[in-house]
Structure 1
Amino acid sequence: MITAEPPAEQGLQLDLPNLPTVGGEGARVVQARLRVTEVAPGISRLRLWAEGESMPPDDGGGLGMLIDHPGLASTTPSPLFEYDERPFAFRFRGLLRSGGERRTVSGFPVAPALTLSERAASVCFQLDPDTDVLGFGEDWGRLVKNGRRLELRNQDGLGSGVGRGYKWIPLLHAGSATIFLHTSTIIQADVGATDPSLLVLEVEEPRLDLFVIGGGDLKHRLARYTELTGRPRVPPIWAFGLWMSRCRYHSRRELEEAAHGMRQHRVPCDVLHIDPDWLQLDKLNCDFRWSEEKYPDPEGMLRDLKAMGYRVSVWELPYVDAASPVYGEMRAAGHLVRRAGGDPAAAEALSRDGRPRGLVDFSRPEASAAWQERHRKLLEMGVAVMKTDFGEGLPEDALMADGRDGRAWRNLYPLWYNRTVFEAIERVTERNGLVWGRSGWAGSQRYPAQWGGDPEASLAGMAASLRGGLSYALSAPGFWSHDIGGFYGQPPSPELYVRWAQFGLLSPLARAHGLSPREPWHFGERALAIFREFTELRYRLLPYLLTVAREAEAAGLPVMRPLVLEFPDDPGSRAIDLQYMLGPDILVCPVFSESADPVAVGVYLPGGASWVDWWTGEELEGGRWLQVSVPLDRLPLYRRSGAEIELGPVVQHTGDLEA
């Protein structure tokens, strides 16, 4: 632990019979250096490292999480930082104070202010009794993280109910402070789980590099965070229309049946997605070898679909099956991730065939460039966007180009993967890039969009998706979505499908997807009519959605927002995580019920504003709970009183608007 005083001055009870060994023979004293600078007004940077080792570099050492910022190399001491030597403690004035004061019966700190070892470093902050901790990325639990113990280690989530995460983000908010851990390593976070008054953050490397952001409300601090890690550009207008998908359309015929069905049933739609069946080898493999058998004449197909007003999304993942001839080509070129001995590493991916999957080595510029070039033909013949699936399976025995192993790179790999594909799309299409990414890390908001992976088709899966999206909004603000209807399990009931569609069609981006068909006519006439009505509402809201999207680009704010982000002074909004704001002015209250009949729903109207019922026009005072009866064809929806929400026409696709 980091301290400036000897054991006798630390309050240790040296005469207790059960005291661990302190000092004496075998004890090792390591000199450490601590540097705290002002990056910009309200932004401090703390770096800790062992004497004789290198200081964590100003620019992040090529991790790719930070963007250029003039304050990264600042040597100006932070005016907010104060410290005591004996006993060692520190504060960021008015924002945070370190732990270390709390002691066990033997006198040891419950959690020292700072620790440093050959394999890890940690920091401890005190939590006041009324301090909520938020953030950490796409976590399926409650919005407020107090009482949780989290491991920030990206892996296949296997749904949204087993405690795993596709895109943890090392950003958190505690009271009036925002903390950004600038690391790619696995992080252990004890958010008051061991002691409710302490927040302990441990990184798996012998150094610490963190930013503390203060000086304003949560909106302000998110904006300052994105000054460091970047902001998204606005996707093309068609991305804000409906995406229709399933796992899988097994052939061109099935895809075109869906395309014609959407038009025949007058359900607006802009994007159709093809999952792995476009490939010859279509099980956990992407080698870009198009299946003419399943999808003949792709150029003609894409041309015909574009004439109908559709863009096409195509699936990929950064793994290549050892059975593919492309595997051998990439191995010979040195484009696959290797183990220490030089053999290709195998992705951590479940495969029934038992064959290994090689991983694209994005740590090597030549491998990234070659992977980008493999996208060129697809994009030039008319594919509009890539679904960048997976990316969480880098094995621990991998050896990356910078000499670090797969465990140290695990969280970073998804960022570099999505960046590589995003930039390829920008370069070839000459417009703002767009991917549909599952995995991510700090900075992923620069490469929109992300979606919430594979939730169960259940009310629990729907609630977890919403909570994951709200948590992600406070960690990587930008454009996020989820699978309308849920991904796996039994096909959703018509009522679940409708309730999820109402939520999904009032999300930043909207895609229906799952293992079984998700086209609305499969769920009966009533579901089809309701789905159509809410899709038409989404298209009418396109001017508003584009305005909010431009705000995301300009100010670093999410499109979907927890109530606490918009109403920080309203105590009733603090922990609400089953409602959300769509932009600053629309309050959306999803209904978690599979009843075909009207259901009673509790709705909270945030304080500090009055609200207008979207359906009836009734004006209501905020700062209170309502009990409302909601039929299947409605969800509680409100606009902020006085807000001007521009509406557009109902069209079948955004090409009609451009025409």
Structure 2
Amino acid sequence: MRRAPIVLTVVLVSSLGCNTGPGPAVESGETSDTSTTGDGDGDGDGDGDGDGDGEPAEITLEWIEATPELRLLRGDEVLLSFGPNAFALGEVAAINDSSSYDPLFVEPDAWRIVASAQTLTNTPEQIEATLTYTSGATAQLIVDRLAPGRYEARWTPNPGGPVHAMLRLAPQVDAEEGFYGLGELFDQPEHRGTLRALALEFDPTLESSNNEAHVPVPFLTGTRGWGLYINDDHVSSFDVAKTASDTVIATVGTGPDTPSGLHFYLFAADHPLDITGHYYAVSGYPHVPAPWALGPWIWRDENQDQAEVEADIQTLRDLDLATSGIWVDRPYASGVNSFDFEPAQFPDPQAMIDQAHAMGLRFALWHTPYLDADDPAVAALRLEAEDNGYFPPDTALLTSNWDEPIDFTNPAAYTFWQDQVQLYTSMGVEGFKLDYGEDVTVGINGVRTVWSFADGSSERTMHKHYARLYHRAYQELLPDTGGFLLTRTGTHGDQANVDVIWPGDLDATMTRHGEVFQRFGSSYTGVGGLPAAIVAGLSLGPSGFPLFASDTGGYRHSPPTPETFVRWCEYSALMPVMQIGTSSNDVAWEFDDTVLAAYRELTRLHLRLFPYFWTHIAALSDGGRAIARPLGLAFPELGVHPSFDYMLGDALLVAPVVDAGAVSRAVTFPPGRWIHWWTGEIVDAAGPGPTIQMIDAPLGRPPLFLRAGQLVPLLRPTIDSLAPTTNPGIEPGQVDSYATAPGRLTVRTSAGPDAGLTLFDETVLSQASSDATIELAVSPGSEFAAGVSFEIVALGMAPSGVSDQLGELEQLDPAALANVERGWAFDSGVLQIKLETGAHQVVVVRR
């Protein structure tokens, strides 16, 4: 039985570090001409602490030898407290080589806690102490200050004395705060009261027979503004305030590697959204795809042949469906990973790839890391790999149908595999959907599944590290201008290789994770459908993977109903990456006209949001805030944690419809004014707590709200693709490509708190409102230099005048405004202002 941690109360006696934390993010209600991220906490002071003083609090780390205790503080507030029970050694009689030391199944003989400590160093830059345990064992704790709010720690048992096989960190936390991170989860993005396994485990309760932990990340953020990152690949679990409401218990099954200790980090910031930036600084910043990867992508699970692919490419353009990419899933090759195209199916694959490029589509392929011993098509490659030792020396339970995976720890095998992949990239393949590669598991029910690799490692760490090597091998081959790497798996640090995560085989339903449902006459305990996809995306953002794209429509038990397909399109359109496809090969034009019309509008909206998305992606290297932000993390002061409501960047509140048959949705609004994207209706959330209001949600129109005063940049409404067209001879106007001409920028905003936004191309926008005027400003950047159109929504009446530094603008009717470069029009609460190229300062005089 797990023991409840001992909670100690102590006094502060010394301090490590006196530097202030990172500067405050610019709050949505503050004026700034350089902001790319808003405050998100709703207090209006920009520092996230709710006190209104606008000053970032000092982050300190305090060490108390007498207790002993390590405390992480922001100002006078204790964020984390590591008392004697917080650095626990799992003692065993001897190392059992057959044990996986998986904390879900294995307990040590005894957990030993700290009895006393001796301080060796206590300076603003470093704390070092010797910890003495109740068993007489000792360990070294060294904590170094890396930057304001960022500390690196190493906790290492000393040689001699008892044998240890597990290590446990158990800091005391606030008994009411929320917790985010830990990788991809499907039940809820907030973790209080849960036990999370950070490894792929057998789970007979789900149809998939596993716990779906494809992207485990040992990085947890508390909503009071702290982070704990355990930089270790051994199997681990996080008891997130489940055993005790004020304690997080992170247990790592280090087994025979325990003498090497545990490497971890502590982070603190004024707002919890900023903790991810600290994580990136030590684990690697996200690799991001080429800009064209943010356009909608389409695929079929099984393409019949080249003719079908080429027909789909042509249909996309004939039907005027916004799309930037297409990938071909298996089977397309002579065999799985034969690195060719099956000649009877694909007689001229180069022509197919060239046609995609000509039509403004990038081209990708599905792939895996195997060579099937029973497949004649890969016999020569398989023999070469066997003769040269390109497979792991020892393998255990295999989870794919194609034998053991390539051993990427072997440099020669790594090069061999890349040489084959280049056969595709040399043809113009710019992206890969990487599937499987999860054979390396730590064990079953606590018993090892033994693997060995060329570099001497075993499954004890390779169950995580294999994903990094697999993904890196492909990422290194993508174009210097950027590519598209969509992966099913990942772990901490792998964000430096992976562009986008997709959640594998979700149900083609609107059911929740673990829900029992009926489908085609059978009963299933499902992985989950659309609701699970939303949770997965919201759990990955705070875990360091900012880009996520589920199979729009689902995969298991396809086809989706038309309602499920459209509702899923609504959600996918309001994420930075949108990929559309199911296991039953559903494409929008094979549904009815109602579905096709909704699909056309939603994919166009997604594409138009590109400058908004790409601006937030560019900001990942300077702040690191998640793009899709769970509402409870974006507004921790609300004290609520809805699983399906989220902020999309700074300006947009999204509440996807997740219940079949629903035509309305209860939406949680933080304090402020929120403007309905589709109708212009205003929700005035008085605060200080959340406001919950029922919102109509007809099919094709998800609840989407603009935060008053914020600025949302959009592409022109005719845009078809973000990718270039390579054939100048295609029919004029058939492909309206952003890559050909970025064109006029559209900016949607409203009267509200002052706000500023600098786009990725250095276009600078601002909005400031008073009772008498609305003032707008634009300074064009490198790409958006063809003029700007402002859309000011939710105005009660037409203004009495609009002017800029060149003088008064002419009032026109909306139809006439479309044909000029300068002027304004008002219709149904929306003020449209068109301005020619150049910088402008606009004054709207309100009546």
Common topology (TM > 0.5): yes
SS where residue 617 of structure 2 aligns? Answer: helix
Q: Deviations over 1:1-55 (max 9, x none)?
A: xxxxxxxxx9xxxxxxxxxxxxxxxxxxxxxxxxx99899869xxxxxxxxxxxx
1:562 aligns with 630
Are 2:482 and 1:432 equivalent residues in the alignment?
yes
Structure-1 residue corresponding to 2:612: 544
Corresponding residue number in structure 1 for 2:698:
631
Q: Could you say if the C-alpha distance between residues 215 and 645 of structure 1 is closer, same or farther in structure 2, counting changes exceeding 3 Å?
A: closer
Q: Which residue is 1:486 aligned to? A: 554
In the alignment, the residues of structure 2 paired with residue 394 and residue 42 of structure 1 have an alpha-carbon distance, to the nearest angstrom, of 40
Amino acid at match of 2:472: R
How far apart are residue 302 of structure 1 and its match? 0.8
Task: Name the residue aligned to 2:344.
Answer: 293
Superposed counterparts of 1:71-470, under 5 Å: 80-84=61-65, 88-93=68-73, 94-98=78-82, 112=113, 117-154=163-200, 163-174=211-222, 175-205=224-254, 206=258, 207-282=261-336, 286-323=337-374, 324-325=378-379, 326-339=381-394, 345=395, 348-351=398-401, 357-395=403-441, 396-425=449-478, 429-447=479-497, 448-460=499-511, 461-470=529-538
Paired residues of 1:457 and 1:486 also in contact (CA < 8 A): yes
Per-residue deviation, 1:85: 5.1
- CA distance, structure 2, for counterparts of residue 101 and residue 123 of structure 1: 8
String of CA shifts for 1:186-224, please: whole Å, max 9, x gaps: 102222323333221111211211101113211221111
Aligned residue for 1:173, secondary structure, equals: strand
Write the letter of the residue equivalent to 1:593. D
Structure 1: distance between partners of 2:330 and 2:713 = 39
* SS of corresponding position for 1:375: helix
Structure with the higher strand share, 1 or 2? 2
Aligned with 2:677 (options 600, 614, 621)? 614
Does structure 2 retain, via aligned residues, the 8 Å contact 1:251–1:277?
Answer: no
Q: Which has the larger radius of gyration?
A: 2
- The amino acid of 2:698's aligned partner reads P
Deviation of 1:350 after TM superposition, in Å, equals 4.2
Q: Which amino acid aligns with 1:364?
A: N
Deviations 1:145-175 (A, max 9, x none): 1211121114699888963211011100134
Match of 2:568 in 1: 500
Q: Distance in 2 between matches of 1:267 and 1:517?
A: 17
The alignment of Structure 1 onto Structure 2 pairs a total of residues equal to 565
TM-score, normalised via structure 2 length: 0.63
Distance 1:409 1:313 in 2: 28
Q: What SS does structure 1 have at the residue aligned with 2:505? A: coil
8 Å CA contact 1:347–1:358 kept in 2: the answer is no
Would the alpha carbon gap of residues 192 and 219 (structure 1) be closer, same or farther in structure 2, given more than 3 Å must change?
closer
Distance 1:548 1:42 in 2: 22
How far the C-alpha of 1:422 sits from its partner, in A, is 0.7
Q: Measure how far apart 1:481 and its partner are.
A: 1.2
Q: Distance in 2 between matches of 1:631 and 1:316?
A: 38
Amino acid at match of 2:538: L
Question: In the alignment, what sits opposite 2:789?
Answer: none
383-392 or 288-297, which deviates more:
288-297
Contact preservation (8 Å) 1:619, 1:641: no
Task: Tell me the distance in 2 between the aligned counterparts of 1:249 and 1:152.
Answer: 35
Instruction: Tell whether the 8 Å contact from 1:347 to 1:357 is kept in structure 2 after alignment.
Output: no
Q: Which amino acid aligns with 1:254?
A: E
Amino acid in structure 1 at the alignment position of 2:670: P
CA gap 1:640/1:291 in 2 versus in 1, 3 angstroms: same
CA contact (8 A) 1:346 1:359 kept: no
Indicate the residue corresponding to 2:644 in structure 1. 578
Query: Which SS does the other structure have where 1:319 is aligned?
Result: coil
If the length of structure 1 is used for normalisation, what is the TM-score?
A: 0.80
Shift of 1:459: 0.9
Aligned to 2:810: none
2:739 aligned residue: 658
CA contact (8 A) 2:398 2:404 kept: no
CA contact (8 A) 1:159 1:455 kept: no
* Counterpart residue type for residue 189 of structure 1: F
SS of the residue corresponding to residue 549 of structure 1 reads helix
Provide the rounded CA distance (Å) in 2 between the counterparts of 1:42 and 1:257.
56
1:489-541 Cα distance to aligned partner (Å, 9 max, x none): 13111011110111011111000121102211222111111011111111221
Q: Tell me the SS of whatever aligns to 1:321.
A: coil
Higher helix share: 1
Deviates more, 1:361-370 or 1:151-160: 151-160
Q: Which moved more, 1:617-626 or 1:523-532?
A: 617-626
Task: Name the Cα RMSD after superposition.
Answer: 2.8
Q: Which letter maps to 2:72?
A: F
Farther-moved stretch of structure 1 (645-654 vs 153-162): 153-162
Aligned ranges 1:37-76 → 2 under 5 Å: none
Q: Secondary structure at the match of 1:391?
A: coil
Other structure's SS at 1:290 match: coil
Counterpart CA distance in 2 for 1:319 and 1:615 is 48
Equivalent-residue separation in structure 1 for 2:454 and 2:21 (angstroms): 36
* Contact kept? 2:396, 2:450, Cα under 8 Å: no
User: What is the identity percentage for the equivalent residue pairs of Structure 1 and Structure 2?
Assistant: 26
| Number of the residue aligned with 2:813 | none
Contact preservation (8 Å) 1:373, 1:424: no
Q: Quick one: which amino acid aligns to residue 81 of structure 2?
A: R
**Which one-letter code corresponds to 1:306 in the other structure?**
H
Where does the alignment leave 5 or more consecutive residues of structure 2 unmatched? 1-7, 9-14, 23-58, 87-108, 115-130, 134-156, 158-162, 442-448, 512-528, 725-736, 741-847
Quickly say closer, same or farther: Cα 1:190–1:615, change in 2 above 3 A.
Answer: same
Contact 1:101 1:109 in 2 (8 A): no
Summarize the Cα distance change of 1:38–1:292 in structure 2 as closer, same or farther, 3 Å threshold: farther
Deviation at 1:565, TM superposition (A): 3.7
> Take 1:605 and 1:111, find their aligned partners in 2: how far apart are those partners?
47
**Structure 2 partner of 1:600:** 664
Kindly provide the CA deviation profile for residues 82-130 of structure 1, in whole angstroms up to 9, marking residues without a partner as x. Answer: 14456x543334221135569xxxxx99994799753221111223321
SS in 2 for 1:543: helix
Q: How far apart are 1:227 and its partner, in Å? A: 0.7
Contact 1:159 1:454 in 2 (8 A): no
2:196 aligned counterpart, secondary structure: strand
Distance between the aligned counterparts of 2:556 and 2:312, measured in 1? 20
* Residues 355-374 of structure 1: CA deviation (Å, up to 9, x unaligned): x6121112223322222222
- What is the rounded CA distance, in whole Å, between the counterparts of 1:335 and 1:39 in structure 2? 52
Partner SS, residue 466 of structure 2: helix
Structure 2 distance, partners of 1:642, 1:548, is 18
